[in-house]
Amino acid sequence: MSNTATCTLNQYIQFVERSFRTSQGTILARLLSLRDDHVGNRNLRSSDIATLVNGNCVEPLDEIIIYHLLCAKALCMKEYEQAYERQSSCVASVVKLIQAQQGDNWNLPLLYTVSLDLRLVAQKAEATYPSNGKILEKAAESLLAGFRVCVGDNRSSEPYSKKIGMLTIVNQLLKVYFRINKIHLCKPLIRAIDSTNLKEPFPLAQRITYRYFVGRKAMFDSDYHAADEFLSFAFQNCHRHSFKNKRQILTYLVPVKMLLGFMPTKKVLYKYDLALFWDLACAVKDGNLRGIDKVMEEFESFFIQAGIYLIVEKLKISAYRNLFKKVYLAENSHQIDIASFQAALQIMGHDDVDAAETQCIVANLIYDGKIKGYISYQHQKVVVSKQNAFPPLTSLC
Amino acid sequence: MSYFDFFYNKNIAKNNDTIAGTCYSMCPQDEIDLRVRENSVHILEVIGPVKKLVKSYCRSAADSNMAVPRILRPYSTLKETLEYLLFEVLKRRDVPTVVLYDFINDRLRAIRQDMTIQRLLSKQCACLLEPMIRFYVYFAYRLYEQPINDFDPVLNKKYLLECMKWFLSCCDDMDQKGEDKLEELTAPFSNLNINKNEFDRTLVESLYILCNLYDIHPLLRYLSLPRDLKRDSMLNLSYNIAVANIKGDFINTCRLIDKLCPLTYCAIFLYLPEIQKHALQVLAYGYNSKQLTVPGEVLQTWLRFNNKDETLAVCRHYGLEIKNNAVRFARDSFKKEVPKHQLQQNSLKGKGLTVEDIFTYKRNIL
């Protein structure tokens, strides 16, 4: 195996054939991966791959090998659009092969590998020839074909069922959909996964990726409790050395937790190089609206790129609550003038706020259950409950 | 055939697969003959003794080939047709507005069909789509009170969204290809260049936000737009309205609405009952009391009702008690399940605006 980087084309074909005949899925996958040493092998980059392979190899494999090697060749020549076309054909051939092999699933690693490669090549092509996500969209269609084969495998008994491969392909699709901002397309995939009940659970790594994306989707749908649950699972189970992934999960988990009233510790934020959230958390805690605006301005592109800008905007509501609680504690009374709240808002950076808007903010907080009490328009006062006037945010659901 | 030839042919076919129409009148001769023979000339296509037919929309079916140059109109003719429909036909007063709407909507669909089949350039599509978007936004407002049998707001919204999404993807396309930049470079050399502001992109971007007020996607789109676009005063205003609304800040939402231009106002007007209903519900919690009340006039200005009677009627509609022209809010008496109220249409802001203005006004003039 070790000499695929230098072997001849014939030897390479023999390797592929042997691993196919002996049902060695992982080895076969490696031999047809674009991220393996053999991609750099000059012997495999002959000028006429198609005629050399044709007739030199068993039926379904020849097509796959041809497309794979043509794709590798295009990649070496930096012709990414062409590489994409070829990898897409390669995936189609693999899907056909896998569909034909009923009652067995040893070949799933091959499907995983070519699917992942397709996404990577598509991303590269998209970056080189921007098409508004059209290349990635087409890639998603190819991936869906693989997904359908996995879902549709109803006849094989469980340890040999291709259903176990669903989640890996779904994760690839989720990655594509999030990248091209077509989050609504995730819904049928999520439904398909949630309604599958296999005895053996999906691999943990795939479950983590899946929850990460489902959590992000819940966040977009403003379902913060669900988002918290999914993202927390992902964070807790993610391998401790996967620093980048953990940081990525935290980027979403932290603002969600903050919205639900749980403030992050300084230690964890600094550990994961997310200090900006510390400034944000402090500003929210203090009801410092100007501080929130400052963080938002400074890290605007980060928040926008991560898609959490609007969530951060919503944190201002928590900041209002914290600010008003401070006013309440300072006034030490159950009847507080609207004017006091208004003044506090103005001091904290809401310069042009007037009495009407202040009342609107208070009314919303009461409506959300964040303040217990009522407003009197006639007296321009807020009357708060004698007990637990500002229930902790974490106690609300 | 070797694989190389296979790929080569496939790629060639992909790029050259466009058809250019050769029909230089608003309606292909075949259709004129057919419709005159079958007696299916629309009343709006008859002007005194003259018949002026416009190609009607026809669903594509498996057995009919629509990609025939003879029956497709090129860009210049499409533009002419569009202008004829919006500036001439829309002036007709001899038929009910609903009939006028149905007729024009159908002919606009036919235009879009021709655009799709010919795969017009992004810029041309944008030029044709912008007035259509204005049309759908304006008529959603204008026909708001019509019974569902005469005017279906859901269908109208569907067409509107179709146009808007198409328009915006054309803009993205142009951004990516840098067509505008190229134009800027060549502009000094050709004084007779086509007017650069042939379509109002920020108007459509604003409408996209305001027509989908509770949808997060237009906001995410706004956030990722280039900085100079984001700074546009109306687009920024639209974003602020949507964000204020998401945060439930109805006072700010309503205040900002006052600053909108006529078409963007038309768009938000349809959401006003929803905004008001939610606001009243929040107020019912916030001002929950057995004795205290809030004066009707205050609510009227807060929530932009047309007059005091309307304010009180709407409050009553949701089960709130009225005492001496003031509303007593109580969280338990607010009826959430009641269908949302209808608003009386107030005359469009910027009075003196004719139908023609709706399709041509540029914001900086107003």
Interface contact B3-A130, CB threshold 8 A: no
User: Residue A381 pairs with which residues in a beta bridge?
Assistant: A337, A376
Same domain, B58 and B98: yes
Inside any domain, residue B39: yes
pLDDT at B179: 52
Partners of residue A130 in chain B, C-beta under 8 Å: 176
Interface contact B224-A304, CB threshold 8 A: yes
Inside any domain, residue B200: yes
Question: Between these two residues, B317 and A53, which has the higher pLDDT value?
Answer: B317
pLDDT at B351: 47
Partners of residue A69 in chain B, C-beta under 8 Å: none
- % pLDDT > 70, chain A: 99
CA distances (Å), origin A270, targets A247, A266, A309:
11, 6, 21
Backbone angles phi, psi at B282, to 5 degrees: -60, -40
Q: Which residues contact B359 (CB under 8 A, 6 or more apart)?
A: B86, B87, B131, B134, B135
Amino acid B219 reads L
Q: B1, B2, B3: which to substitute to probe chain A, counting the most A Cβ within 10 Å?
A: B3
Inside any domain, residue B9: no
What mean pLDDT value characterizes chain B? 85
Interface contact B282-A363, CB threshold 8 A: yes
Burial of B235 (0-12, 13-18, 19+ CB in 10 A): buried
Task: Give the minimum alpha-carbon distance from A57 to chain B in angstroms, rounded to a whole number.
Answer: 16
C-alpha span between B218 and B203 (Å, rounded) = 13
Determine the structural domain holding residue B292 and report its residue range: 272-328
Amino acid A1 reads M
Same domain, B131 and B253: yes
End-to-end CA distance of chain A: 57
Inside any domain, residue B235: yes
Partners of residue B289 in chain A, C-beta under 8 Å: 374, 376
Same domain, B237 and B308: no
Inside any domain, residue B334: no
Interface contact B249-A364, CB threshold 8 A: yes
Same domain, B98 and B182: no
C-alpha span between B39 and B183 (Å, rounded) = 48
User: ipTM of this predicted complex?
Assistant: 0.84
C-alpha span between B358 and B133 (Å, rounded) = 11
pLDDT at B12: 44
C-alpha span between B75 and B129 (Å, rounded) = 12
Same domain, B126 and B116: no
- In a 3-state reduction of DSSP, which class is residue A381? strand
User: Residue B321 pairs with which residues in a beta bridge?
Assistant: B328
Closest by Cβ to A361, choosing from B243, B246, B249: B249
Partners of residue B178 in chain A, C-beta under 8 Å: none
pLDDT at B6: 45
Interface contact A357-B289, CB threshold 8 A: no
Size of interface A-B (CB pairs under 8 A): 92
Contact of B231 with chain A, judged by CB distance below 8 Å, is answered with no
Model confidence at B193, in pLDDT bands (50, 70, 90)? Answer: very low
Question: Which of residues B267, B284, B308 is at a domain's end?
Answer: B267
User: Which chain B residue is nearest to residue A363, measuring alpha carbons?
Assistant: B286
Same domain, B87 and B127: no
Partners of residue B302 in chain A, C-beta under 8 Å: 356, 360
Contact of B34 with chain A, judged by CB distance below 8 Å, is answered with no
Are A340 and A331 in contact by the 8 Å Cβ rule? The answer is yes
Same domain, B127 and B255: yes
pLDDT at A197: 81
Task: Give the minimum alpha-carbon distance from A164 to chain B in angstroms, rounded to a whole number.
Answer: 33
pLDDT at A328: 95
Helices (H), chain A: 9-21, 25-31, 49-53, 59-76, 80-100, 108-128, 134-151, 166-179, 186-194, 204-220, 224-237, 243-259, 266-271, 275-286, 289-298, 300-306, 309-331, 338-347, 355-367
Backbone angles phi, psi at B231, to 5 degrees: -80, -10
Contact of B291 with chain A, judged by CB distance below 8 Å, is answered with no
pLDDT at B11: 47
Does pLDDT of B268 surpass 90?
Answer: yes
Partners of residue B286 in chain A, C-beta under 8 Å: 359, 362-364, 366-367, 374-375
Inside any domain, residue B364: no
Does pLDDT of B17 surpass 80?
Answer: no
C-alpha span between A261 and A224 (Å, rounded) = 11
Which single residue is written with the structure tokens 């569907």?
Answer: B158
Closest by Cβ to A132, choosing from B172, B224, B243: B172
H helix and E strand count, chain B: 17, 5
Interface contact B216-A376, CB threshold 8 A: no
Interface contact A307-B169, CB threshold 8 A: no
pLDDT at A2: 53
Indicate the number of domains in chain B: 3
Question: Which of residues B91, B120, B149 is at a domain's end?
Answer: B120
Closest by Cβ to B289, choosing from A130, A131, A374: A374
User: Which chain A residue is nearest to residue B302, measuring alpha carbons?
Assistant: A356
B273-290 per-position pLDDT tens digit: 999 999 999 999 999 988
CA distances (Å), origin B147, targets A161, B13, B143, B150, B151:
55, 49, 9, 6, 6
Does pLDDT of B13 surpass 60?
Answer: no
Interface contact B176-A364, CB threshold 8 A: no
Same domain, B245 and B260: yes
Q: Is the dihedral of CA B294, B296, B298, B300 positive or negative?
A: positive
Interface contact B216-A220, CB threshold 8 A: yes
Over residues B194-215, the mean pLDDT reads: 84
pLDDT at A131: 80
Task: Give the minimum alpha-carbon distance from A155 to chain B in angstroms, rounded to a whole number.
Answer: 36
Question: Between these two residues, B125 and A45, which has the higher pLDDT value?
Answer: B125
Same domain, B257 and B299: no
Same domain, B215 and B82: no
Residue-level pLDDT, tens digit, chain A, 397 residues? 557 888 888 889 889 999 998 999 999 999 999 999 888 888 888 777 777 777 777 778 888 999 999 999 999 999 999 999 999 999 999 999 999 888 888 999 999 999 999 999 999 999 988 887 889 999 999 999 999 999 988 887 878 889 899 999 999 999 999 998 888 899 999 999 998 888 788 999 999 999 999 999 999 888 999 999 999 999 999 999 999 999 999 999 999 999 999 999 999 999 999 999 999 999 999 999 999 999 999 999 999 999 899 999 999 999 999 999 999 999 999 999 999 999 999 999 988 899 999 999 999 999 999 999 999 999 999 999 998 999 998 887 6
Residue window 248-267, chain B: list those with CB within 8 Å of chain A.
248-252
Closest by Cβ to B285, choosing from A130, A220, A363: A363
Q: Of B45, B265, B263, whose CA–CA distance to B135 is shortest?
A: B263
Closest by Cβ to A374, choosing from B282, B287, B293: B287
- In a 3-state reduction of DSSP, which class is residue B356? helix
Interface contact B248-A374, CB threshold 8 A: no
Task: Give the minimum alpha-carbon distance from B173 to chain A in angstroms, rounded to a whole number.
Answer: 7
Q: A312, A364, A372, A381: which to substitute to probe chain B, counting the most B Cβ within 10 Å?
A: A364
pLDDT at B348: 58
Inside any domain, residue B166: yes
Interface contact B289-A70, CB threshold 8 A: no
Same domain, B81 and B143: no
Closest by Cβ to A377, choosing from B219, B220, B292: B292
Interface contact A310-B216, CB threshold 8 A: yes
Question: Which of residues B78, B95, B120 is at a domain's end?
Answer: B120
Q: A85, A338, A353, A367: which to substitute to probe chain B, counting the most B Cβ within 10 Å?
A: A367
Task: Give the minimum alpha-carbon distance from B4 to chain A in angstroms, rounded to a whole number.
Answer: 8
Interface contact A360-B287, CB threshold 8 A: no
> Per this entry, what is the length of chain A?
397
- Which two tokens mark B243? 């964000």
User: Which chain A residue is nearest to residue B251, measuring alpha carbons?
Assistant: A357
pLDDT at B300: 93
B133-168 per-position pLDDT tens digit: 999 999 999 888 889 899 999 999 999 999 999 999
Partners of residue B252 in chain A, C-beta under 8 Å: 357, 360
DSSP codes, B57-100: P----TT-----GGG---HHHHHHHHHIIIIIGGG--SS-HHHH
- In a 3-state reduction of DSSP, which class is residue B135? helix
Same domain, B260 and B126: yes
Inside any domain, residue B35: yes
pLDDT at B353: 63
Closest by Cβ to A360, choosing from B169, B250, B289: B250
Most confident of A193-197, B49-53, B73-77, B361-365: B73-77
Which single residue is written with the structure tokens 């092509």?
Answer: A125
Q: What is the CA radius of gyration of chain A?
A: 28
Closest by Cβ to B288, choosing from A85, A357, A374: A374
Task: Give the minimum alpha-carbon distance from A244 to chain B in angstroms, rounded to a whole number.
Answer: 24
Q: A375, A380, A384: which to substitute to probe chain B, counting the most B Cβ within 10 Å?
A: A375
